Amino acid sequence: MRSGILAPTLVAAVLVLAAGTSRQLYAQGRAGGRAAPAPPPTARAAAPIDLTGNWVSIISEDWRWRMVTPAKGDYASVPITAEAKRIADAWNPAKDQAAGEQCKSYGAAAIMRVPTRLRISWLDDNTLKVETDAGTQTRLLRFGAPKPPEGPPTWQGHSVAEWEIAGGRGAGGRGAGGTPQPTFGNLKVVTTRMRPGYLRKNGVPYSADAVLTEYWDVGREPNGDQWLVVTSLVDDPKYLQQQYVTSPNFKKEGNGSKWEPTPCSATW
């Protein structure tokens, strides 16, 4: 008799706990996800975080190498190869300017370290547009499986984006349609096909083989401030001895009143 009660009780308990655990595994993102819901139709609707709006870079790190053009030969913090040093030692900004190469330090591998404001918006349901007022550059972060563009590499390269969903606890619904969405997550972007440029204004190079991987995280503070941190990993077998890891941070601004586009400059 007792075992007759035990059996269905055990089954029920296992089912209840299994259901709870599946939620936990889903919450752990890529590690689990057995019961992941069907993917939403567009990247915009699936957005777990809101990146749109106006952001300003806060230059609290590497000030001397970002706010002003450092001296020729100043490569502190960058894990360059001897070949990269040879090229950087020959840096000639006047020559770059004359050759129409004044945007070399505004390419995708460097632009987020440049003191700038960002204006982020949706170009369409599967493309985030990131504009910078410094150098008047535009990055297009394309979701899905976008076809690489034809033609020569560009300063901003080809960026493939994906949301990394980590939530599952709440119903945010930031996107269109009002479908309950996971609350937390981040953006991952992989950029290739970049035109060779400079990691630093004073000629520290990255090559056409460089790959930029970025993780975009947004955090909200108790005082209401919103911060964007872009963890940037640059792999370049030609010019870097190890992966170059930086994490520029940006603060959300209420409007675009301080937006002031300026052209690229090889010297400033």
Partner 1 sequence: MFSDLVKRHSIVLLTLLMGLISVPADAQIDLSGNWVSRQHEDWEERGPGPEVVDYLGLPINEEARSRALAYSASMLSLPERQCLYYPPHYVVLGPQGLRIWSDTDPVTGREVAWKISAAIDRSIITIWMDGRPHPPEDDLHPLGGFTTGKWEGNTLVATTTHEKEGYLRRNGVPTSDRTTFTMHLSRHGDTLTILGIYYDPVYLTEPHAISRSWQLVPTGNLTPRVPAPCVPEAEVSTLQGDGAVPHYLPGQNPFIDEMTKMYKIPREAVLGGAETMYPEYRKRLKDTYVPPEKCVRYCCGWGGGQGNAAPGLQCITGGTGTLNER
12 binds partner 1 (CB under 8 A): no
User: Could you say which of 1, 38, 82, 94 contacts partner 1 (CB under 8 A)?
Assistant: 82
> How many of the chain's residues bind partner 1 (CB under 8 A)?
83
- Taking alpha carbons only, the member of 122, 143, 148 closest to residue 43 is 143
Q: Is the CB of 29 or the CB of 157 nearer to partner 1?
A: 29
54 in contact with partner 1 (CB under 8 A) = no
Site membership for partner 1, residue 28 (CB under 8 A): yes
Q: How far apart are CA 151 and CA 164, in angstroms?
A: 30
Distance of CA 33 to the CA centre of its chain: 24
Instruction: Tell me if 29 contacts partner 1 by CB under 8 A.
Output: yes
Residue 100: exposure state from Cβ atoms within 10 A (0-12, 13-18, ≥19): exposed
178 — alpha (psi -120 to 50), left (phi > 0) or beta? left
Confirm or reject binding of residue 254 to partner 1 (CB under 8 A).
Answer: no
Minimum distance from residue 168 beta carbon to partner 1 (Å):
9
Candidate segments 16-24, 35-43, 142-150, 173-181, binder of partner 1 by CB under 8 A: 16-24
Binders of partner 1 among residues 141 to 160 (CB under 8 A) are none
And the tokens for 8? 């269905």
Decide: is 258 part of the binding site for partner 1 (CB under 8 A).
yes
Residues contacting residue 66 through CB under 8 Å, at least 6 positions apart: 59, 113, 114, 115
